[in-house]
A and B are shown apart, each in its own frame.
Chain A
């Protein structure tokens, strides 16, 4: 005889985030298939949710919404429920009108031309403008020390904004961190602050919130392949406007 299983603590531990990866995946499968378990999860969420409102409100970076919108635009359109309401009806009636007036073949041809022109324009702009920018800042003084620009074609440049003091026998080393499991990778070594192309060719494409930092290392670079000296400036990439 099997005793009745009491899943309530399991549901609570799922909500709290205490389950290991395997148990978590199993709990997620059960939420999808077991209405009773799903209800227990919802009950615990409701019980704990007052704790969410005890968090302080932290003002988002001024461009966070733009970054979110940027990501949404990059995604393929989600399979949406057809738009209902005024706007949906409006667009459907406009489309019907267009098709009736011009004939669908002509509309399709025009749309194709617009798409090609838009794409070409976007590519031209992308070649001139960085897609990601990181401002590297001195944590102690909050002073900006350098800018990193990443371009659509994979080029990444670092432009110093200040003259960095490099003692004899030392060098500036530039690092990036795009994957926390792999850790920081060296992308440039300089004897003094100057504008330079960073070597990211062997790394995956630069993304948002990728960390760049400049540390002071022995001339010839860090002996360990990891940053060893003090961090002079650091910052993360944000999507350029």
Chain B
């Protein structure tokens, strides 16, 4: 079920993709179902991948993506290209949906979790393009702070889960996150 690894940012390509997705979201707002299909064809596989890192079960990741598309359709009118990119908007929706599903989830049985999606502390950062400011800035953080931020964003870990995984008290993890974010903010301007 896994295809290509993440392609890194060819900026011309990503500009075109952003323009197409942005136009498609605007068309969704006027009730154009074909435009939603365009978004699906371009982004559904990646959206499932994003949800999968959080939910670690393909059926749940697809369910979250399914719900995300309903929300994209219903709230396309609230998308404002002046405020942010369309792709960031799409992925915020699917992440929110996956996080909601994770919070409601009391895992039915652990064996249905896909072991190959065991959260990895370094994979996501090493897949960021070399030129990415986020990559450079994350690499400047202490390992603990970096791990906490990446596990939370990429795998949907809560403060409690971070403390368990990183083997430090809850207060420590909260301060790692806060200080890490502060450093990231300074580094990324």
Interface residues of B in 42-93 (CB under 8 A from A): 44-46, 48-50, 52-53, 58-59, 61-63, 65-66, 69-70, 73-74, 77, 83-85, 87-89, 91-92
Q: Which residue of B lies closest to A64 (CB)?
A: B62
A68: chain B residues within 8 A (beta carbon): 36, 40, 66, 69-70
Cβ A49 vs Cβ B87 within 8 A? yes
Q: Which residue of A lies closest to B54 (CB)?
A: A17
Knowing A51-B154, A181-B104, the reply to whether A8 touches B181 (Cβ < 8 A) is yes
B123: chain A residues within 8 A (beta carbon): 54
- Closest chain-B Cβ to A167's Cβ sits at a distance in Å of 22
Cβ A16 vs Cβ B30 within 8 A? no
Q: Which residue of B lies closest to A68 (CB)?
A: B69
Partner of B108, one of A80, A82, A211: A211
A8: chain B residues within 8 A (beta carbon): 181, 185
B121: chain A residues within 8 A (beta carbon): none
B185: chain A residues within 8 A (beta carbon): 8-9, 12
- Say yes or no: is B134 at the interface (Cβ < 8 Å to chain A): yes
Could you say which interface size class chain A belongs to? Answer: 35 or more
Knowing A18-B158, A38-B83, A72-B73, the reply to whether A177 touches B108 (Cβ < 8 A) is yes
Cβ B49 vs Cβ A56 within 8 A? yes
A85: chain B residues within 8 A (beta carbon): 30
- Say yes or no: is B33 at the interface (Cβ < 8 Å to chain A): yes
- Say yes or no: is A22 at the interface (Cβ < 8 Å to chain B): no
- Say yes or no: is A52 at the interface (Cβ < 8 Å to chain B): yes
A50: chain B residues within 8 A (beta carbon): 9, 128-129, 132, 134-135
A184 to B109, CA, bound (A): 10
Cβ B4 vs Cβ A57 within 8 A? yes
A82: chain B residues within 8 A (beta carbon): 30
- Say yes or no: is A128 at the interface (Cβ < 8 Å to chain B): no
A221 to B139, CA, bound (A): 55
Interface core residue of A54, A64, A67, A69 (most chain B CB under 10 Å): A54
Interface core residue of A52, A71, A75, A184 (most chain B CB under 10 Å): A52
B interface majority secondary structure: helix
- Say yes or no: is B99 at the interface (Cβ < 8 Å to chain A): yes
- Say yes or no: is A55 at the interface (Cβ < 8 Å to chain B): yes
Partner of A55, one of B53, B107, B150, B159: B53
Interface residues of B in 107-154 (CB under 8 A from A): 107-109, 111, 123-125, 127-129, 132, 134-135, 149-150, 152-154
Cβ A55 vs Cβ B46 within 8 A? yes
B3: chain A residues within 8 A (beta carbon): 56-59
Cβ B46 vs Cβ A57 within 8 A? yes
Cβ A53 vs Cβ B6 within 8 A? yes
- Closest chain-A Cβ to B163's Cβ sits at a distance in Å of 12
What 1/0 flags go to A36-48 for Cβ under 8 Å of B? 0011001001111
Partner of A58, one of B49, B88, B95, B106: B49
- Say yes or no: is B164 at the interface (Cβ < 8 Å to chain A): no
A12 to B127, CA, bound (A): 21
Knowing A45-B88, A49-B91, A80-B31, the reply to whether A231 touches B154 (Cβ < 8 A) is no
Cβ B66 vs Cβ A54 within 8 A? no
B91: chain A residues within 8 A (beta carbon): 49, 52
- Closest chain-A Cβ to B153's Cβ sits at a distance in Å of 5
- Say yes or no: is B16 at the interface (Cβ < 8 Å to chain A): no
Interface residues of A in 76-117 (CB under 8 A from B): 78, 80-85, 88
Cβ A16 vs Cβ B134 within 8 A? no
Cβ A59 vs Cβ B182 within 8 A? no
Cβ A54 vs Cβ B124 within 8 A? yes
A-B contact pairs, 8 of them (CB 8 A): A9-B178, A38-B83, A46-B88, A52-B46, A52-B87, A56-B6, A71-B70, A80-B30
